[in-house]
Amino acid sequence: MATAPQQPRWTGSLRLRLLVATVCGVALAVLLAGIVLDSLFREHVLRQFSASLSQHLDQLTARLEFDAQGRPVIDPQSLSDPRWQRPYSGLYWQVDEAGGAGPGQAAVLRSRSLWDTRLVLPADALPGGAVHAHEGRGPADSSVLMLERTVQSDAQPGARWRLVVAADLHEVRAATSRFSGVLAPSLAVLLVLLALAAWAQVGIGLKPLRALQDAVQGVRQASAGRLHGRFPSEVQPLVDDFNAILDDQAAGLARARTHAGNLAHALKTPLSVIDQAAARALRTHDSELARVVQEQLGLAMRQIDWHLARSRVAATRRLPGLRTPIGPAIAGLVRVMERVHAQRGLRIRVAPCAQQLSFAGEAQDLQEMLGNLLDNACKWAAAEVKVWVEAAAIDTRAALAVHIEDDGPGIAAADVETVRARGVRADETVPGSGLGLAIVQDLVGLYGGRLDLEPAAPRGLHAVLLLPAAAVPGKAQSVNS
């Protein structure tokens, strides 16, 4: 059968998917915030820079005068900022002739800070008094921001002059670079902190699912019959529905078991009547027919018990919450065997076992399996039968290993598979129907266990019954020898 392709690991984990989605969303938000903050800071710094430059332009305009010929005159000493006087200081001013009919003259006046250079202005026309801002090239090919205004003299209305102030943009760009250098690692740290917060939030948010998993595991391991615990309101409806399904399953299995019991009673009653009639016929006169009928009735009763046990286990082996303590079950069966075989003087030695060891199944099934093995051991034992229990494992599941050993003749290795067959008896001189080991083998197989038969030392048979164990929450299973 073709199997479905396995999903990538990250798509199979709800925790990882939520964490990746959250971190990606937070990273995108932090990135956009960084771009917006950097842009806002650049705009703010440039606005402040332009405002400062505008004040210088206003001061230059206020200090502008005209001589008798209508030529512009500015006293450098009247300007307050000393950078106007320092060559290549980064702050410059210049006055150009805008020209009337002609092209005009550049750098009619200029600040000492320009030294032997001049500002190259774009060829544009401005209305009187309007301020125009644009970037250009300054001394030493530096990038500068220029603000210009057009003015004219009252004495010569036809003459127009362009007043320009410029400042080097290096400091502005250095400030924005420093801000970006601080902003980037700060946002990176913020992203890490938000990712950790998202990880904690996902862990806390999904913690109830871990509790739900533990509760389901308890049901699966037969340590509980229903899901118990406190769950969030989003998960509680799922828990209630699952518990309702478990209740319906238990009710259906109870009805099936009741029907099976009714069927057994309906069959056993007429069979018992026939058996009693055959027994009376044997008491009055020796009848071969009555003897055969009685023997076959005994076999039929055993077959009914066997098939009912199979159907019961098939219905209940997946039922959660089944739990049968192993110690009391063994003790009760040993008391029965001691009474049944009292005339033989057998010693049945039972090693103490831990109280928490329990079988994950029906008590009746456990008694059926252990009773058959103990009965066989007592039938064949010469003087002693030993019983002990220890913790084991079936694949990765917790299990119980029940050991039953007798000192009888044992079974040859070649005959082990033969005696497992239904209706086969190792010795016809010993009473029995030959169904005991077959019933045990079928029952333990339905529970997912195993029955092993091996020679005992120095003689006898050693039977090992491997059964699923009911989990004990919070405790490891152990056996006291």
CA angle in degrees (0–180, nearest 5) for 245-246-250: 115
Chain segment 338-397, per-residue pLDDT in tens: 888 888 889 999 998 888 888 888 888 888 889 989 998 999 899 999 999 998 888 878
The whole-number pLDDT of residue 321 equals 61
Tell me the sheet residues that pair with 66: 72
Q: What H or E segment, with its residue span, contains residue 392? A: strand 384-394
Q: Is the pLDDT of residue 328 over 50?
A: yes
Chain segment 159-191, per-residue pLDDT in tens: 788 889 999 999 889 999 999 999 999 999 999
What sections of 322-457 are H helices per DSSP? 326-340, 363-380, 416-420, 436-446
pLDDT averaged over every residue in the chain: 80
CA dihedral 244, 248, 253, 255 (to 10 degrees): 140
Q: What is the mean pLDDT of residues 317-325?
A: 68
Q: Is the pLDDT of residue 284 over 50?
A: yes
The whole-number pLDDT of residue 132 equals 86
Query: Percent of the chain having pLDDT more than 90?
Result: 23
Q: Return the structure tokens found at 223.
A: 């340590």
The whole-number pLDDT of residue 478 equals 35
pLDDT classification of 412: cutoffs 50, 70, 90 = confident
458 upstream amide cis, omega within 30 of 0: yes
Q: Is the pLDDT of residue 426 over 80?
A: no
Q: Return the structure tokens found at 216.
A: 């389901």
Q: Which residues contact 211 (CB under 8 A, 6 or more apart)?
A: 229, 231
Q: Is the pLDDT of residue 420 over 70?
A: no
Residues 274 and 297 sit within 8 Å (Cβ to Cβ): yes
Q: Which of 66-75, 80-89, 210-219, 310-319 is predicted least confidently?
A: 310-319
Comparing 459 with 222, the larger pLDDT belongs to 459
Chain segment 208-250, per-residue pLDDT in tens: 878 887 788 777 766 667 787 788 877 788 888 888 888 887 7
Comparing 303 with 391, the larger pLDDT belongs to 391
The whole-number pLDDT of residue 261 equals 67
Q: Is the pLDDT of residue 286 over 70?
A: no
Q: Is the pLDDT of residue 314 over 70?
A: no
The whole-number pLDDT of residue 103 equals 57
Residues 154 and 134 sit within 8 Å (Cβ to Cβ): no
Top mean pLDDT of 58-67, 283-292, 298-307 is at 58-67
pTM assigned to the model: 0.51
The span from the CA of 368 to the CA of 446, in Å, is: 13
- The secondary structure of residue 121, as a DSSP letter, is P
